[in-house]
């Protein structure tokens, strides 16, 4: 039987929002694993895909056969339970995104809605799966994610006149009256009333006509340019006025007069430092703005878009599908923990070596980030009853399963079959500065417990 360590060749997508040329981590990583690819300096490269999704399936670099073909031949690579549950496909799609400018205001449908959308409009909704996703920052990242606390939205309705015009005086007043005194209530009745008021105000905004949007956008941008740190009356506690004004100006330079200029007042503005992460459930609204990130998601390419995009917009479905949950961004950020199924051996444990598990509350995937910061540092991943994909984002070293040992370095991607013990060794020392790291890998994996969910 063939060794279950397989080096992959993974495809890259070029979208307008991607980073250009060698600035793109997605392009650099693709160049490291593709045989006939050279980076074009003027071309944007947005996403590196690692998985079995038919839109851009990964291949065995040696044979050029797809992972799907290999799984059809040998279900043991996935494990019998996972092969049966996920129809011989990887349950997750692993990505690197390199974001130069805003990508669409969007949400991913839940399983039931995905099936309905795919059946009625397969062109715009190419599969029938849901798409909960997790984001881990590789470089500093910022984005819009989830609805803000209600008091912050009310603050903007009072202090950004152009926003109030688009929502409308009647709708704005109804929102303010509904939430008054119960912005943070945990009573089910209050929360449902708050969500209905939020949905009503947000839907009114999203259905703004072009003329009203054009006029309001000009007013908004002028205010941002002239008011500086006094913009939006200095902002709510989570964002100061200058930060918000700069964001308006920046987004308007990318998508002039777009409805997204106003959507940002409803959504949390989040920044992630390297290694920080957040999880987005199906039907959660978001828009990524800049940075390089690792993404892991259920294997789907379904996106319902409504702004910051030249692509198909589906405002009606977006405004109907959202959960309208509202909370500080801290509630969407994830707290990684040490991963007990990896053994780090000396000299791996320098002061900043790490091994962190990002484990979202869904069965399809988890991700572990490992940093080895001394030559000879070694990480031994215990066998799991499920498949893995390992990406190196920094440094160089070796990766081995049994007697098979191969080089691993920045951009290299490996598939590891179920029940295989994996050993990664570092050939580099981290620089002598606080926070520096040597060999960094991300491992996405799926392991089922009693056929129901991850261990």
Active site residues: 305
Rounded-to-10 torsion of CA 6, 18, 314, 166: 150
User: What is the three-state SS of 12-40?
Assistant: EECCCCEEEHHHCHHHHHHHHHCCCCCCC
- Residue 47 near residue 24 (C-beta atoms within 8 A): no
Helix, strand, or coil here: 288?
strand
- Residue 142 near residue 290 (C-beta atoms within 8 A): yes
- 366-372 and 354-358 beta bridge pairing: antiparallel
Distance between CA 59 and CA 50 in Å, rounded? 9
Tokens of 427: 């050939």
How many C-beta neighbours within 10 Å does residue 269 have?
Answer: 19
How many C-beta neighbours within 10 Å does residue 403 have?
Answer: 6
Distance between CA 274 and CA 202 in Å, rounded? 32
* CB-count burial class (<10 Å; 0-12, 13-18, 19+) for 382: exposed
């Amino acid at each position: 039987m063939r060794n279950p360590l397989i080096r992959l060749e993974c495809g890259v997508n070029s979208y307008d929002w991607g980073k250009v040329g060698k600035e793109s981590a997605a392009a650099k990583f693709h160049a490291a694993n593709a045989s006939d690819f050279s980076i074009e300096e003027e071309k944007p490269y947005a996403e590196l895909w690692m998985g079995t999704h038919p839109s851009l399936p990964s291949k065995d670099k040696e044979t050029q056969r797809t992972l799907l073909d290999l799984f059809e031949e040998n279900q043991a690579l996935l494990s019998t339970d996972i092969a049966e549950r996920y129809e011989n496909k990887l349950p997750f799609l692993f990505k690197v995104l390199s974001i130069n400018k805003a990508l669409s205001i969007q949400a991913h449908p839940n399983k039931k809605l995905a099936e309905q959308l795919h059946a009625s409009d397969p062109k715009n909704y190419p599969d029938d799966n849901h798409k909960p996703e997790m984001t881990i920052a590789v470089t500093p990242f910022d984005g819009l994610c989830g609805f803000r606390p209600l008091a912050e939205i009310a603050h903007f309705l009072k202090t950004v006149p152009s926003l109030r015009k688009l929502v409308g005086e009647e709708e704005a007043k109804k929102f303010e009256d509904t939430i008054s005194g119960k912005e943070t209530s945990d009573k089910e009745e209050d929360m449902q009333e708050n969500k209905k008021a939020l949905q009503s105000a947000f839907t009114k905004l999203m259905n703004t006509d072009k003329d009203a949007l054009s006029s309001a956008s000009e007013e908004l941008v002028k205010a941002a340019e002239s008011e500086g740190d006094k913009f939006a009356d200095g902002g709510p506690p989570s964002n100061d006025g200058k930060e918000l004004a700069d964001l308006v100006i920046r987004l308007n330079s990318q998508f002039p007069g777009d409805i997204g200029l106003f959507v940002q007042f409803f959504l949390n503005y989040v920044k992630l430092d390297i290694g920080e992460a957040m999880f987005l459930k199906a039907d959660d609204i978001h828009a990524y703005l800049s940075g390089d990130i690792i993404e892991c998601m259920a294997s789907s390419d379904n996106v319902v878009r409504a702004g910051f995009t030249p692509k198909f917009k589906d405002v009606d479905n977006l405004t109907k599908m959202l959960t309208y949950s509202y909370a500080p961004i801290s509630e969407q950020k994830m707290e990684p923990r040490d991963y007990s199924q990896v053994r780090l051996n000396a000299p791996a444990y320098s002061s900043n070596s790490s091994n962190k598990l990002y484990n979202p509350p869904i069965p399809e995937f988890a991700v572990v980030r490992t940093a080895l910061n001394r030559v000879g540092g070694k990480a031994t991943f215990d066998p799991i009853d499920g498949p893995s994909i390992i990406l190196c984002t920094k440094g160089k070293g070796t990766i081995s399963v049994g007697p098979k040992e191969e080089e691993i370095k920045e951009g290299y991607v490996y598939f590891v079959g179920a029940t295989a013990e994996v050993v990664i060794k570092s050939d580099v020392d981290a620089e002598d500065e606080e926070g520096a790291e040597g060999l960094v890998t991300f491992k996405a994996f799926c392991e089922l417990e009693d056929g129901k969910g991850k261990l």
